[in-house]
Amino acid sequence: MVLIAFLFVAALFLGAFLYTLLQVRVIKRRYQPDGSFFEADSNKLHYHFYRHPGQDETAPVLVFLHGASGNAYDMKLAFLEALKGHHSLLFVDRPGLGFSVSSKSGSDLPDGQASALGRLLEALEIKTAIVVGHSLGSAVTAALGLAAPERVKGLAFLAPVSHEWPGGVNWYYNLAALPVIGALFSWTLTLPVGGLLVPSAMTNVFLPDRAPQDYFAGIRLPLLFRPASFRANSRQIALLKPALIRQSRSYSKLQQPTLVVSGTEDTVVWPSIHCEGLLRDLPNAQLLMLDQAGHMPHHTHTDDIAKALLKLVRRVEGKGEAAVPGNARGDIGSHV
């Protein structure tokens, strides 16, 4: 009986592995990179750069960094049409996600990603960057602001993860991040099970709003469930908390004009920890709090955020109103 049970389990894992292998090939054929590539720090970064023809080389460029379990198409879907007529825009697949490839362990940490992204900004001759990060991408935004303040002149944090939080992360991220067991898990269960859980996960992350009708196809979501991408995503999430404990000690050095955006109904990250922490630690931060918005405000309140980003550009250019010294919140306008 024990032998039969073992053979049955082995057959299930073999079937799941073969299914995963087949689906990875299908995903590779179905989704092809349509941007450009740049190699930096053992990373091959995939990006889309939309230059504004009317701007000179010193004009601010908006650089968008997606959150966990996503890719550059998430931010591109939200902001390309809203902002492409105003400024140059750069959308990047963070290392290991989307079509970007990472072969360096340090790229799982915010500062390692910031190093690679800083080299990309240099290669593209972007002299004035305003970095806009969503969720986990906000941790990389802060790291990039710390690493290259001479180039990163403005910061925007959307539904940010920036500080230590109580508790840990979901068990499957810790499992997938492990060296051997994580590979076995990712090559057998991620694709079959992940596909089944996508609808409920998408519903939860957008609450209280609904996801855009074309969201799944628009962001090429199946790219996430390829074993290499899922493991990279899991490592970044599993290693994030200790990295933020270290990184947040340096936030007072972030003197750049800053925008912090959050929704009152965000249940994925806690605004009371991350937004309040940024407003406390960053001397030039202003807050945009969106009423009845969840964790994906860039899709559900795009126009409000786009207007706030344009105000941030003016602040960086010295044409806008600065945050009031001593006002930890620095709220801009009324809550939407």
How confident is the model over 274-295, as pLDDT tens digits? 999 999 999 999 999 999 999 9
For residue 159, give the nearest of 311, 23, 325, 289 by alpha carbon. Answer: 289
Categorize the per-residue pLDDT at 226 as very low, low, confident or very high, splitting at 50, 70 and 90. Answer: very high
320-330 mean pLDDT: 48
Task: Dihedral sign for Cα 136, 62, 48, 220, please.
Answer: positive
For residue 134, give the nearest of 260, 34, 238 by alpha carbon. Answer: 260
pTM higher than the cut 0.75: yes
How confident is the model over 151-165, as pLDDT tens digits? 999 999 999 999 999
Angle between helices 227-238 and 190-206 (to 10 degrees): 50
For residue 63, give the nearest of 303, 309, 314 by alpha carbon. Answer: 309
How confident is the model over 240-251, as pLDDT tens digits? 999 999 999 999
- Classified as helix, coil or strand, 50 is strand
Q: Which domains does the chain have, with CATH numbers?
A: 34-76+85-165+241-316 (3.40.50.1820)
- Classified as helix, coil or strand, 129 is strand
Contact criterion met (CB below 8 Å) for 84 and 38: no
